[in-house]
Amino acid sequence: MTRALLTLGMVVLSLCREVGGMALLGFYTFVNLLRGRFDAKELVRNLYKMGVVSVPIVSLTALFTGGTMVIQSGIFVQRFQAYGLLGWGTGYAVLREVGPILIGLMFSGRVGANNAADLGSMVVTEQVDGLRALAIEPIPYLIVPRVLAMMLAMFCLLVLGDAVAIGGGMLFGKLLLGVDYASFYASFVDAIKLWDVTVGLLKGTFFALMIALTSCHYGLSVKGGAVGVGQSVNDAVVAAALLIMVSDDIWTMVLR
Amino acid sequence: MIALDGIRKLHLDPVQPPVFDGISLRIAEGETCGLCGPGASGKSLLLKIICGLVRPEHGTVEVAGRDLGLASPDELRSIQSRIGYLFQNNALFDSMTVQENVAFPLRQRLRLGQEALDEQQILARVSESLRGVGLATHAAKMPSQLSGGQRKRVALARAVVARPPLLIYDEPTAGLDPVTTAKIYDLLGTEQKLTKSTTLIVSSDIDALRRFSDRMLMVYRGRLCYDGPSADMDESASPVVRQFVRGELEGPL
């Protein structure tokens, strides 16, 4: 019983430490961002590294996501002859749910993991101490540009990913179900509202904030050399995935 | 230049005894001090405390007459920008070229208003510094393209490029072959003669360290167990110091 309580206590304390650490990092990032204290050169470098380089993988994911939506809904579309709803169904699912979540998870696996590893390596090779010894604060120099870059990159990637996914849906709809492009497009434009696009973009950008904070927090708290870096990457990806799913539920309830 | 009074720093594991338990020392301007001690005795930590990167739980740290514990963030940054620090792992920034790494302290001092150099003068100073460590032709390379010894020399060039009044070297020759080690110490000596900076150096190469330093300090079990001339270390009254210096197997260590 004592052992169980001790374990429970340690888990709760550890959870509080991680959540508190992320909240504090978020607070300092926000304060520095408001004061305009961040390194613009680092922002541009990270935008390229996190955004531009992610375009091919996000596009490919989005293309097949659109296709999957069509394949999944195809059986019902054919059964009920509801070809006119294909554009709406694909668009609604992609824009509001599947797009932000899948692109978010892909972004977390590629960019979040890389960011945690990058910061973790900087910690174990004393580069972060090196910055501080040169009188440079790590948050404005390292963290704010990364958080901002991830949010901006994710927003742009979502716009691109949504467009590619809808295009993929159109293509697969034509190839697999014989739904012509005009019919798909008309159904999409008639039923999808700007709000649906906005909800998806809001969610995705918030997911990027979660990915940024988890990866920066776990990256900066690395201890124990290369093994510690591996552990921090693992923790960052798991925490980001969990936060994406939990916050998605909350956003979905709030933005119905 | 440096004054530590009653420094106490607790271990991360509360069961372990404190890393430092009342360390006090004074290092005068222009002095060259070697800091040694067995592994995990806290030598690198002491350097980080002096540089204001780590705060002790008790005691005061004064650098250039300013108490780091009472300094505002801006004052602390101002003090830190006057310290050249060569880290044990070099701490070269992976995303920057050799030239950008070496220019970084100068650009930072320029940003803080402590340097009146323009970009051309910064590049000239960087070239001069890289020539000094024999790496003038490597300016455009990334740190990952260099060998261990070359990286150490770049880190040295970066530490001294702004000609700071206080230089801290943490294991400048760790893992290097004897020839490269001799070259590094030669560079450190040249730099010291040129700038007359106060120098604090940690090294496991005890012989080279004693040759280089006027004064030796040794930490053991959280306390300073030797503080005196390098030449007198062999004859220290402490059996710990004698055993450490002579590298004997038998003894209290």
Average pLDDT over residues A137-141: 92
Partners of residue B62 on adjacent β-strands = B3, B67
Query: How many domains in chain A?
Result: 1
Q: Which residues of A touch B89 (CB under 8 A)?
A: 124-126
Can you list the residues of chain B whose pLDDT is less than 50?
none
CB contact under 8 A, A134 and B92: no
CB contact under 8 A, B93 and A45: no
Q: Which of A54-58, A175-179, B66-70 has the lowest mean pLDDT?
A: A175-179
Decide if B242 contacts B234 (C-beta within 8 A).
yes
C-alpha distance from residue B228 to each of B25, B144, B189, B213 (Å): 11, 40, 20, 11
Average pLDDT over residues A7-17: 91
Q: Which residues of A touch B48 (CB under 8 A)?
A: 129
CB contact under 8 A, A134 and B48: no
B45, B53, B74, best to mutate vs chain A, most A CBs in 10 Å: B53
Q: Which residues of B touch A121 (CB under 8 A)?
A: 94
A43, A134, A139, A223, best to mutate vs chain B, most B CBs in 10 Å: A134
Which pLDDT belongs to residue A46?
95
Q: Which residues of B touch A135 (CB under 8 A)?
A: 76-78, 80-81, 108, 112
Which pLDDT belongs to residue A194?
92
Q: Which residues of A touch B92 (CB under 8 A)?
A: 127, 130
**Which residues of B have a CB under 8 Å from any CB of A?**
48, 51, 53, 73, 76-78, 80-81, 83, 85, 87-95, 104-105, 108, 112
Cα three-residue angle A206-A209-A214, rounded to 5 degrees: 130
CB contact under 8 A, A134 and B51: no
Supply the ipTM of this predicted assembly.
0.87
CB contact under 8 A, B85 and A133: yes
Which pLDDT belongs to residue B10?
92
3-state secondary structure chain A: CHHHHHHHHHHHHHHHHHHHHHHHHHHHHHHHHHCCCCCHHHHHHHHHHHHHHHHHHHHHHHHHHHHHHHHHHHHHHHHCCCHHHHHHHHHHHHHHHHHHHHHHHHHHHHHHHHHHHHHHHHHHCCHHHHHHHCCCCHHHHHHHHHHHHHHHHHHHHHHHHHHHHHHHHHHHHHHHHCCCHHHHHHHHHHHCCHHHHHHHHHHHHHHHHHHHHHHHHHHHCCCCHHHHHHHHHHHHHHHHHHHHHHHHHHHHHHCC
Domains contained in chain B, CATH given: 1-82+165-175+196-253 (3.40.50.300)
Average pLDDT over residues A108-112: 95
- How many beta-carbon pairs below 8 A join chains A and B? 51
Decide if A71 contacts A172 (C-beta within 8 A).
yes
Nearest to A127 among B83, B88, B93 (CB): B93
First and final CA of chain A: distance in angstroms? 44
Q: What is the C-alpha separation between B222 and B215, in angstroms, rounded?
A: 19
Which pLDDT belongs to residue B241?
93
A38, A43, A126, A221, best to mutate vs chain B, most B CBs in 10 Å: A126
CB contact under 8 A, B112 and A134: no
* A190 touches B: beta carbon within 8 Å: no
Q: Which residues of A touch B91 (CB under 8 A)?
A: 125-127, 129-130, 133
Which pLDDT belongs to residue A121?
95
* Most distant CA pair in chain B, distance: 58
Average pLDDT over residues A57-73: 89
* A126 touches B: beta carbon within 8 Å: yes
Count other Cβ atoms within 10 Å, centred on residue A178: 10
Give the residue numbers spanning the domain of A202: 2-254
pLDDT tens for A184-209 read: 899 898 888 999 999 999 999 999 99
Q: What is the C-alpha separation between B218 and B244, in angstroms, rounded?
A: 10
Q: Which residue of A has its CA nearest to B76?
A: A135
pLDDT tens for B113-150 read: 777 788 899 999 999 999 988 899 999 999 999 998 89
CB contact under 8 A, B77 and A135: yes
Which pLDDT belongs to residue A167?
93
Decide if A172 contacts A67 (C-beta within 8 A).
yes
Instruction: Retrieve residue A50's tokens.
Output: 């996190």
Which pLDDT belongs to residue A219?
96
Provide the pLDDT confidence category of residue A55 given band limits of 50, 70 and 90: very high
Q: Which residues of A touch B51 (CB under 8 A)?
A: 133
CB contact under 8 A, A130 and B80: no
Nearest to A133 among B51, B89, B90 (CB): B51
pLDDT tens for A203-248 read: 999 999 999 999 999 999 998 888 999 999 999 999 999 999 999 9
